[in-house]
Structure 1
Amino acid sequence: MNATTALVPSVFDLNTTSRRALAVALGAGFVALLAQVALPLPFTPVPVTLQTLGVLLAGAALGSRLGAQALLLYLAAGAAGLPVFAGGGAGVGWLAGPTGGYLLGFVAAAWLAGALVERFAADRRPLPAFLAMLAAGAAIYAFGLAGLAGWMALAGKTVSLPGLLALGFWPFALGDLLKAGLAAVLLPAAWKGLGRSGRI
């Protein structure tokens, strides 16, 4: 299958550095905005947030390169002290804490979502979009669970694999399925609404 272009580069002319930088900044800002919707859970250090939905949409809409850059900018802004992490969190300590692996996984997830869009046009129809969002979400969990296990080991806490999944996967699995489904509806709808309007 021939390579395709993600939604934002298809609709908007990103041939200048300033426009690409603006697209990256808007993607980072979108994730930061959704990160403010956060629900702490009493039994795990990992909160429920909407930022993962932002990661999936930013990666798929911007494409692999710009999507990954947007999430790198998001992490840099949070590490520098801007309150962009879950619930207004900030500081480099977040990258070394229990959610640090998830945050780093955002970059991989955005890149993967964009790559699947570019390779398979996975954002044009709901089912391929849903599968692409699940794959990108799996990347977040791979990094997140590894980071959570490492953080617990450094803190002197031992946890079994079932215990790790109980802390860092099962409480969020249903919500992330719903977010993947929502993204799979929004992306094809955006193509129908914007993709036919011509380049801006």
Structure 2
Amino acid sequence: MNTAAPAARPSFSPLGLADRSVLWQVAAVALGTLFLALSSYIEVPMVPVPMTMQTFAVVMVGALYGWRLGGITIVAWLIEGAIGLPVLSGGAAGAIHFIGPTAGYLFAFPIAGAIAGWLAEQGWNGNKPVLAFLAAIAGNLACLALGGAWLAVMIGAEQAFIYGVAPFLLGAVLKSALGAAALAGLQRVASKR
């Protein structure tokens, strides 16, 4: 009888941040929060929730950094926004955004990034673009579900779905496809090294 523990699955990260020094990881968090902030400025104004590239960036940070460091990076970015740095949608800032209509989406971002990161570590990454797409979709849907649930408390379930979920479904698919393509491209570059 073999009682040896099963071998851990190798995780994929084109950046290899888990093997880097703490200084590298701190720099990666800073760079990741900058990427998240820049994605916040790419928006289509909508009421009560604008459409941005934030979910794309959140899923990419998770997939590239892994669920732990990705989650830390996303939380750091949210803290920057809460203390007043203009890093949220359209340059918004302040704690008020964490109790308004967008609060559920903001609190869902670390969860969405962690889902995408965990799935990437399980092999749903640039090595398998279809699975990378599904990982990104899972992160996006988690964000829409939690954001929509918070919005439903504020404006009712039907209105929350009409204004806070349905308009974002096509964008979630497109951003997920873009993310999967980017991860596949990064995988090709990483494998050539």
TM-score of the superposition, structure 2-length normalised?
A: 0.90
The aligned runs of 1:125-164 (5 Å cut-off) are: 125-150=128-153, 152=154, 157=155, 159=156, 161-164=157-160
The verdict on how the C-alpha distance between 1:56 and 1:13 changes in structure 2, with shifts beyond 3 A counting, is closer
Question: Letter of the aligned partner of 1:143 in structure 2?
Answer: L
Matched, 1:4 2:4: no
Residues 58-90 of structure 1, C-alpha deviation per residue, up to 9 Å, x if partnerless?
110010001000100000000010000000000
Query: Gaps (5+ residues) in structure 2?
Result: 1-7
Matched, 1:23 2:19: no
Structure 1 CA distance, aligned partners of 2:161 and 2:79?
28
More off after superposition, 164-173 vs 77-86: 164-173
Structure 2 CA distance, aligned partners of 1:76 and 1:116?
25
Q: Which runs of 4+ in 1 moved over 6 A?
A: none
Structure 1 CA distance, aligned partners of 2:90 and 2:97?
12
Mapped contact 1:60–1:123 kept (Cα < 8 A): no
Query: Gaps (5+ residues) in structure 1?
Result: none
Partner residue, 1:183: 179
Question: Letter of the aligned partner of 2:73 in structure 1?
Answer: A
How many residues end up aligned between the 2 structures?
186
RCO higher in structure (CA 8 A, sep ≥6): 1
Identity fraction in percent? 37
The verdict on how the C-alpha distance between 1:23 and 1:166 changes in structure 2, with shifts beyond 3 A counting, is same
Matched, 1:174 2:178: no
Question: Letter of the aligned partner of 1:131 in structure 2?
Answer: L
Structure 1 CA distance, aligned partners of 2:94 and 2:72?
19
Matched, 1:83 2:86: yes
Structure 2 CA distance, aligned partners of 1:136 and 1:107?
9
Question: Letter of the aligned partner of 1:167 in structure 2?
Answer: Y
Structure 2 CA distance, aligned partners of 1:137 and 1:125?
18
The aligned runs of 1:53-92 (5 Å cut-off) are: 53-92=56-95
Residues 86-136 of structure 1, C-alpha deviation per residue, up to 9 Å, x if partnerless?
000000111111001101111001111110011124332221111111111
The verdict on how the C-alpha distance between 1:195 and 1:23 changes in structure 2, with shifts beyond 3 A counting, is farther
Partner residue, 2:122: 119
The verdict on how the C-alpha distance between 1:99 and 1:117 changes in structure 2, with shifts beyond 3 A counting, is same
Mapped contact 1:80–1:91 kept (Cα < 8 A): yes
More off after superposition, 119-128 vs 163-172: 119-128
The verdict on how the C-alpha distance between 1:173 and 1:18 changes in structure 2, with shifts beyond 3 A counting, is same
